[in-house]
Amino acid sequence: MNRTTTNGPTAHRPMTGDQMTGGPITGGPSGTDRNGTDPSPMGPTATGAHATRPAATRPAAARGGLHVRTVHLARKQHTVVDSPYGPLTVVATDGVLSGLYMTGQRHRPAEESFGERVAACEEPFPEVARQLTAYFAGELTSFDLPLRLEGTDFQRRVWDQLVRIPYGETWSYGKLAAELGRPTASRAVGLANGKNPVGIIVPCHRVIGASGAMTGYGGGVERKVRLLAFEAGARQL
């Protein structure tokens, strides 16, 4: 089973926006008016950030009404590995797998968003490449890699369900929606499925139409058909 992470490889939930950046840049401290000044002669309230410091001794930035919080910029790197389905671009954010994209993939981010290109021997890429090689050889049916999936709460819930679909099997969009407790949300589930950032490892290719139709796949319907046929055949070996 894949693992998702917030602060390390053993945590379960993926990071959200404020957890990754250290929080947004906010306005002035509570108790200030629209001009950033304190309308009360007593200064900020007792719970304010500067409650115990007289105004005259506060840093200039605080007196000006702007509270700036440190922003952590995530470090992104990527590499490219070969596969039977063409080159795969593998992306890591702060050393944790966060993307796997095929060539020509729908919803593929801009190349510059992948960060620096590095050798496949740099962490965490060797283990990712090893497990992908074993998967394509029919020797691995379940990936065991920390994941950092960035998306909305609903998207991450959908992606978390995808890794529960057994190897060699398929679910319909309706079943996936029902598993989420949202039986009428098949369309929303389909949209989230299409924006899965980690192809193959998070197996969005295992979701099909209610009639069994091979509906849209970010990597292309042809690749979807090949992946499902491959998994079905490997399971019968």
Element (H, E) at 79: strand 76-81
Tell which residue, 5, 20, 58, has the closest CA to residue 36: 58
User: Which of the following is catalytic: 147, 204, 208, 228?
Assistant: 204
Helix (H, G, I), strand (E, B) or coil at 116: strand
Q: Are 21 and 13 in contact (CB under 8 A)?
A: no
Helix (H, G, I), strand (E, B) or coil at 135: helix
Using DSSP, how many helices (H) and how many strands (E) does the chain show? 7, 8
Q: Are 148 and 99 in contact (CB under 8 A)?
A: no
Active site residue 121: no
Tell which residue, 84, 88, 90, has the closest CA to residue 104: 88
Q: Are 14 and 153 in contact (CB under 8 A)?
A: no
Tell which residue, 216, 207, 102, 220, has the closest CA to residue 164: 207
Bridge partners of 3, per DSSP, are 146
- Residues in Cβ contact with 121 at an 8 Å cutoff, skipping those fewer than 6 apart: none
- Residues in Cβ contact with 34 at an 8 Å cutoff, skipping those fewer than 6 apart: none
**Annotated catalytic sites, by residue?**
204
